[in-house]
């Protein structure tokens, strides 16, 4: 089976455990900067616009303190994922109206729909687990975040 793993596309330098954003606009800006650290984003502004445009269709704040902002854009060379933790929480217009503490953000080339959808489904499945979300929220390092996700994906 050819299972793409989140950790194949998430680099330690694209993990932030202390986001400074206080609102949705700031959060998207900060998350786009994390994506850019991967070296796989050709155009920062286009990527940010693609994420904002996706949010206009409906919030990617899926509830339980989690948001999965994502976009398809020609400025992504390959699928790229970043992860952020906001200790104070961000009002992200989530479906349950709760603040968001955990952000999985990703950008994908326009042509890469299959992998994009698999990764979206995989993240959605993993974050349903209350214990896993709690571990992510309390992680002490970017390395620990990647290890937690890797462990969870293998089980």
Residue ranges per domain, the chain?
A: 6-154
CATH fit for domain 6-154, picks 3.40.50.10330, 3.40.190.80, 3.40.50.920, 3.40.930.10: 3.40.930.10
User: Rounded to two decimals, what is the model's pTM?
Assistant: 0.94
17 CA to centre of own chain: 13
What sections of the chain are H helices per DSSP?
6-9, 24-36, 44-57, 113-126, 130-138, 142-154
Please identify every residue annotated as catalytic: 70
The CA radius of gyration of the chain, in Å to the nearest whole number, is 14
Geometric angle at alpha carbon 24, from 20 and 54, rounded to 5°: 130
- Per-position pLDDT tens, the chain of length 155: 456 899 999 999 999 999 999 999 999 999 999 999 999 999 999 999 999 999 999 999 999 999 999 999 999 989 999 999 999 999 999 999 999 999 999 999 988 778 889 999 999 999 999 999 999 999 999 999 999 999 999 88
């Amino acid at each position: 089976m050819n299972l793409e793993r989140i950790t194949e596309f998430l680099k330690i330098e694209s993990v932030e455990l202390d986001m400074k954003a206080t609102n949705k606009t700031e959060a998207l800006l900060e998350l786009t900067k994390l994506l850019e650290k991967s070296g796989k984003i050709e155009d920062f502004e286009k990527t940010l616009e693609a994420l904002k445009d996706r949010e206009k269709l409906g919030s990617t704040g899926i509830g339980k303190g989690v948001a999965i902002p994502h976009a398809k854009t020609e400025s992504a060379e390959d699928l790229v994922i970043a992860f952020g933790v906001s200790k104070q929480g961000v009002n992200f217009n989530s479906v349950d109206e709760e603040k968001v503490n955990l952000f999985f953000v990703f950008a994908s080339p326009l042509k890469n729909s299959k992998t994009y959808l698999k990764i979206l489904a995989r993240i959605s499945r993993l974050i349903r687990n209350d214990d896993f979300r709690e571990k992510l929220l309390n992680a002490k390092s970017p390395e620990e975040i990647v290890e937690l996700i890797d462990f969870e994906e293998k089980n």
